[in-house]
Structure 1
Amino acid sequence: MDLKQLRVFVMVARHGSITRAADAIHLTQSALSLQLKALQKAIGAPLFRRTPRGMELLPSGRALLPHAQAVLAAVDDFDSAVAGLSRQVSGRLRLGTILDPDFLRLGALLGLLLERHPGLHTDVSYGISGGVLSQLFDGQLDLGFYLGVPGDKRLHVMQLTSFRYRVAAPRDWQGRVADADWPQLVQLPWIWTPPESVHHRLLAARFAAQAATPRIVAQVDVESSMLDLVRAGVGLSLLRDTVAQAQHGAGHIALAPPTLDAELTLVCLQRRAAEPAIAAAFALADELWRA
């Protein structure tokens, strides 16, 4: 057996699916299946059972999974120690971003990284807030921006700033929402977002507090699309306060009184926080946001 086979085993166990595991580690399904078969042959015992819902761990798989995870974690720790031997920060840094670059001060951060650490190459990928955490755990990202303060102890978290969300409504709904509170707002049509987004987390808590079920008229995962649908008269959505105020001032939307507080954070895996490239990025983000 080799480390690649162990990584395949852990990813299939995590995702419960050959397809999703293959996507997560950028292998074809056939290549992943061959790796898994080779591991099971080397061990001398089957690890999974195929079911209509996916791949289910057998007792042998459940017994070996924590040991495989420990081996991979030890290898990552060794790689971190090797990287720490070099004084010069270099290599590849994979950064997950969300929202618009100006709000994240992304250009300024990348500029500082290039200026202070010219040997460091940064790959930036855009996604949904909750998706950043999944990609960190799957090893697809080294660090990323996140909306909220995750309570997972496996994560190293730096809070960058606080901000607010406003409830935005179509312009013609001004009379309906000008004095509306949450018991009234939860009765109106809403533009919804996937569970991975901060909008979903914030709104789901509000609807649960009102024991209400949302009237979902559309679902999108990009803030600009939410704004377009609000302006088109489709329903309510959450918008960052600066965006909402600008759109309201221009006469494009109406605003309801309630606000929701949120945090912008920078996150990475706790066990990787001391790696030179990641530590350098956190230090420069702290410098940039505390200035």
Structure 2
Amino acid sequence: MMELYQLRSFVAVAEEGHLTRASERLFSSQPTVSSHIKALEEQLGLRLFDRTARGMQLTEDGQVMLDHARAILKSADGMTRKASAIKAPEGGLFRLGINNALDFLRADQVVAHMVDRYPRLKFQIDQGSSGAVLAAIARGDLDAGFYEGENEYEEIEGTLLSHVPIGIVIPKQWSSEFQEADWGRLQSRPWVFVSTLCSYYRLIERLERQHQLQLDKRFEVSEDQASLSLVARCVALSVLSIRHVEESPLRDRVELWPHFRHAMPLHIAYRRDRADETLIRSLVSICQEVWGQPQAPLKVQSNSLIDHQRLSA
């Protein structure tokens, strides 16, 4: 039997052209998405994609099926939203996206307050990069989500919660190479990043443009901890949250480049056309209660790994 999750994987791969990007968009793994495509092709008796060195390309049959798949998903999503609207605010499913760990975002506290307020409400919590979360909200795949950095979607509204201190992380063994405030020196070593949809990756691109750099963005990993591990192993440089570095067991093997710090804005996001919905209003209100009034970016405490000097990003 054909399943909706197979159709979602089919549409995502068709639109992204690559299994890795599609799996990130779906908050799933690459093998899982690949198995969905294979099963769907077997059920339809059609080859939907040509597998090439550059990615996944739709066949002629796949292009025809894509329009049908989109129509089915649109109808199913509409039915789901209608059912949730009938049951809300007392019940239904609320789909929340997170771009970082639950405790880092205080999302565990937020969800606990939401459950207290709406005991019958069910939650689906998906983790991905900020760009993936925003794209899923825009498509209607998520009801709301946390993101860091900039929002490029006109249909999405974001409420500022805080600022996340960000730094450039280097292996401690490379410290002597990076003592000076020489941005060009950052080109001498490879870089690791989580995803091209990640706000930290987009920050790296901004730094490249501002300082006319050509960084060797060689490694793409699935999580910040993997980035930090590669830095600790003297494999690459990276951009990470200062809190993540300071709380990591690897903190003694890395350090933050003392000539850069950036305050990344953290928001809770939702579609503008849903801003007046009861659950959205409640979520925003609870987030504001948990985080308090957002303050201007603060300097890092004196016991931090980073110098107090702050240079523009």
TM (norm. structure 2) is: 0.67
Separation of aligned partners in 2, 1:215 and 1:264: 27
Per-residue deviation at 1:104?
A: 0.3
Separation of aligned partners in 2, 1:236 and 1:154: 35
Please tell me whether Structure 1 or Structure 2 has the larger radius of gyration of its CA atoms.
1
Are the equivalent residues in 2 in contact too, given 1:80–1:272 (CA < 8 A)? no
Per-residue deviation at 1:144?
A: 1.0
- Matching residue of 2:106: 105
The higher relative CO (CA closer than 8 Å, separation ≥ 6) is in 1
Per-residue deviation at 1:81?
A: 8.6
Aligned CA distance change for structure 1 residues 77 and 273 (closer, same or farther; 3 Å): farther
- Matching residue of 1:92: 93
Are the equivalent residues in 2 in contact too, given 1:131–1:196 (CA < 8 A)? yes
Secondary structure of 2:175's aligned partner: helix
- Matching residue of 1:190: 191
Separation of aligned partners in 2, 1:12 and 1:289: 37
- Matching residue of 1:41: none
2:239 aligned with 1:242 = no
Per-residue deviation at 1:54?
A: 4.8
Separation of aligned partners in 2, 1:115 and 1:277: 13
Moved more, 206-215 or 246-255: 246-255
Instruction: Spell out the pairing of 1:1-291 with structure 2 (5 A cutoff).
Output: 54=57, 88-246=89-247, 251-256=252-257, 257-290=259-292
- Count of residues paired in the alignment: 269
Aligned CA distance change for structure 1 residues 234 and 78 (closer, same or farther; 3 Å): closer
- Matching residue of 1:39: none
Percent identity between matched residues is 22
Aligned CA distance change for structure 1 residues 213 and 28 (closer, same or farther; 3 Å): closer
Aligned CA distance change for structure 1 residues 80 and 287 (closer, same or farther; 3 Å): farther
Secondary structure of 1:251's aligned partner: helix
Separation of aligned partners in 2, 1:74 and 1:123: 20
Per-residue deviation at 1:15?
A: 6.0
In the alignment, structure 2 segments of 5+ residues that lack a partner are 23-31, 45-49, 294-313
Per-residue deviation at 1:80?
A: 7.0
Are the equivalent residues in 2 in contact too, given 1:186–1:207 (CA < 8 A)? no
Per-residue deviation at 1:13?
A: 9.0
In the alignment, structure 1 segments of 5+ residues that lack a partner are 36-49
Aligned CA distance change for structure 1 residues 172 and 282 (closer, same or farther; 3 Å): same
- Matching residue of 2:300: none
